[in-house]
Structure 1
Amino acid sequence: MTTALLSLAALLLGGAWMAAVMDRLAVAWISGRPAARAFVEPLARAAGLLLRQPVTTERPDATGRVLAPALYLALAAIGLSVVPVAEGVVLTDLSTGIVLWGACEALTVVVVFLHGWSANAPLPLIGAYRYVAIALPTLLLSMFVLIAAALPAESLSVTAIVDSQREVWNVVRQPPGLVLFLMLGLALTFRGPFDYADPEDLAGGTAAETSGPARAAWQAARLCMLVAVAGMASAVFLGGPLGPWLPGPLWLVLKMVAVLALLVAATHLLARLPPSRMLTALWVVLLPAAFLDLVLVGVELLL
């Protein structure tokens, strides 16, 4: 238990720092600026926010303002807790680990809305409503692709799903599943084409009126959720800690870094659609594609 708990903390903290570094490297590469400070700039920016005087709106919901980043971080940790770090090393080895992950996804919608609501200001509330409208249909993508990944294992346990990939990874069986799950990850963390909760056109959306330590906590929680998505994607589609020669935890870290790189690249390279067009794409294109992926996996197993 202690080993799994320490591994979880190391993955969350180390992964959050790595994701922040990748973000700075991507910005430096796109803008043509030197990337020499990319490895220390996230820490410097975090320290600056922690030292900055917080500014609040009139009559905010103080309890919700504190709870939102804390709950968002807790959901990331709980979701990552079902991912095996090595053989026999997992913090929460549930027979229904996929269901627990799905519950964390659903509660994320509540937490992000709470964050926008707590500011008692128009722009954060608009960002919160935008997020709810986009996130609810996006969660269905996860349901279809994760059930499809669980079919070969005949189990909803993440550990069993990892064990079922000893011969072939799920990404080979169902490549669209990984792509659709990464889209879900972008939606959960409102990045790239799914940045509707905290976009620039809303001056930061749910975080528009958040400053100082509260803003640092919210940004850290978002990065930790991105790490949790990378961990789940690595376990469910890339075999998690399975791999030759290298130790299992190192394989998991390498796969998570690769997934984080894809998510960060999508953040900075893919344009955000207007909300109405994104909803149409979700209901008309992405959800049928996710259902078709589930059907094809089922047919393959039957044959």
Structure 2
Amino acid sequence: MTESLWQTLWTGYVFPGGLILAHILMLTVPLLIAVAYLTLMERKVLAAMSLRMGPNVVGAFGLLQPFADAAKLIFKETIIPSGANKFLFIAAPCITFILALIAWAVIPVADGWVIANINVGVLYLFAISSLGVYGIIIAGWSSNSRYAFLGALRSSAQMVSYEVSMGLVIITVLLCVGSLNLSAIVNAQKTVWFALPLFPMFIVFFISALAETNRHPFDLPEAEAELVAGYQVEYSSMAFALFFLGEYANMILMSGMTTILFLGGWLPPFDVAPFNWIPGIVWFCLKIFVLLFVFIWVRATVPRYRYDQLMRLGWKVFLPFSLLWVVLTAGFLLAFDLLPKGV
């Protein structure tokens, strides 16, 4: 299907009555499929880096393995601990998974392809990512388990710590653009992607994204040795699967944010043939795929940090460095009269 036909579907000529619903389905259905196959991609890549085969039995080359895993988890019994708060125990994974999906409402996957093209898209993403802490805190507390509660405390402290650095990194991008609109941020990178002039901030943001999603080497909340899987220890069947899917959906979301803020979103690397013949959504998905591969690559190669090292990196390295870079960026733009209008 060509990009023009997708554009026709998106602009509502085919779905004039249920336009918003059509937009949501056109975004969430591929996203859910991507989440399912990201689990297979991770297992395959980790297997290749360990000189193993990985899943290769269910379907050709193991391509049906995600559906087999989903069927297994759906039909398993949901066990709720006797001392748990039943409502909050079930609500916690739902909160985590739903927040990972609704953040995509403001993510432009191509030029004009966004559900809500609001002028405060960055603030919306900040709000949604901050709410993600509640799902984990509620899961740890409602389980009525010391291990789960300690894991939830670790995770909340970790996410709050690295959100501060991520906020300062995004401020440097906003200084260069002068808008909170995500589409405007992408269009501002037509000349050069922000990953080049703001390369240190690009690295800080990506590492902070690893910590924000509780991925290696910052997966301290799920440390098997001391916390027995952390806040997920009491969960089983679909309740556990929602946490699992929420984590992978957050990985895709963070990769999408990195793509928009630093890698030019849907823009090709060079505005010449054959690069500009490829549809923008293909470039957007390709960049996300590369970043997700790096997520998995880091898991396969980097050992887990200690908790004190994690906090030291966030508060004593990333925070002062990103704050210094905000000052330097603002000073540079002001000195050379490069500040956008309204800043």
TM (norm. structure 1) is 0.93
Aligned pairs (5 A) from 1:28-39: 28-35=47-54, 37=56, 39=63
1:72 corresponding residue in structure 2: 96
Q: Which amino acid aligns with 1:212?
A: S
CA distance in 2, matches of 1:43, 1:291: 45
Aligned counterpart in structure 1 of residue 262 of structure 2, from 215, 226, 237: 237
Whole-angstrom CA distance in 1 between matches of 2:27 and 2:325 = 31
Q: Out of 219, 224, 239, which is 1:214 matched to?
A: 239
The answer to whether the Cα contact below 8 Å between 1:29 and 1:35 also exists between their aligned partners in 2 is yes
SS in 2 for 1:170: coil
- Of stretches 40-49 and 233-242 in structure 1, the one that deviates more from structure 2 is 40-49
Note the C-alpha offset of 1:11.
4.5
1:205 aligns with 2:230: yes
Choose from 52, 56, 81 the match for 2:76.
Answer: 52
For 2:49 and 2:97, how far apart are their aligned partners in 1? 29
Alpha-carbon offset, residue 115 of structure 1? 1.4
Residue 290 (structure 1) aligns with: 322
Shift of 1:41: 2.8
Aligned AA (1:240): G
Aligned length: 303
1:12 to 6, 31, 43: 31
Larger radius of gyration: 2
Listed one character per residue, the Cα deviations across residues 219-260 of structure 1 (whole Å, up to 9, x for unaligned) are: 111111111111111111111111222111111111111111
Distance 1:114 1:269 in 2: 32
Secondary structure of the 2:195 match is helix
Indicate which of 191, 195, 208 corresponds to 1:171: 195
Q: Is the 8 A contact 1:182 1:263 kept in 2?
A: no
Deviates more, 1:43-52 or 1:215-224: 43-52
CA distance in 1, matches of 2:30, 2:328: 34
CA distance in 1, matches of 2:46, 2:230: 21
SS in 1 for 2:141: helix
Which stretch has the larger CA shift, 284-293 or 226-235?
284-293
Match of 1:110 among 131, 134, 153: 134
Is 1:42–2:74 an aligned residue pair?
A: no
Deviation at 1:192, TM superposition (A): 0.2
8 Å CA contact 2:37–2:66 kept in 1: the answer is: no
Post-superposition CA distance 1:264-303 (Å, at most 9, x none): 2223322221112211121111112222332333233222
C-alpha contact 2:137 2:153 (8 A) present in aligned 1:
yes
2:43 to 13, 24, 34: 24
Contact 1:123–1:205 under 8 Å retained in 2: yes
Percent of pairs with identical residues: 29
CA distance in 2, matches of 1:15, 1:299: 41
Q: Decide whether aligned partners of structure 1 residues 277 and 9 sit closer, same or farther in structure 2, where only a CA change above 3 A counts.
A: same
Q: Deviations over 1:130-174 (max 9, x none)?
A: 112222111111111111112221011111111111111111121
RMSD: 1.8
Q: Which residue of 1 aligns with 2:160?
A: 136
Paired with 2:224 and 2:101, the residues of 1 have a C-alpha distance of 28
Q: Distance in 1 between matches of 2:67 and 2:324?
A: 43
State how far apart, in whole Å, the 2-side matches of 1:211 and 1:57 are: 11
Deviation at 1:184, TM superposition (A): 2.4
- Structure 1 SS opposite 2:222: coil
Match of 2:179 in 1: 155
State the distance in 2 between where 1:27 and 1:44 align.
19
Q: Does the aligned pair in 1 maintain the 2:85–2:143 contact within 8 Å?
A: yes
Cα deviation for residue 3 of structure 1 reads: 5.3
Where 2:217 maps in the other structure, the secondary structure is: helix
Between the aligned partners of 2:288 and 2:296, the Cα distance in structure 1 is: 12
Paired amino acid for 2:327: V
Pick which of 242-251 and 8-17 moved more.
8-17
Distance 1:106 1:98, change over 3 A: same
| Correspondence 1:114-129 to 2 at 5 A | 114-129=138-153
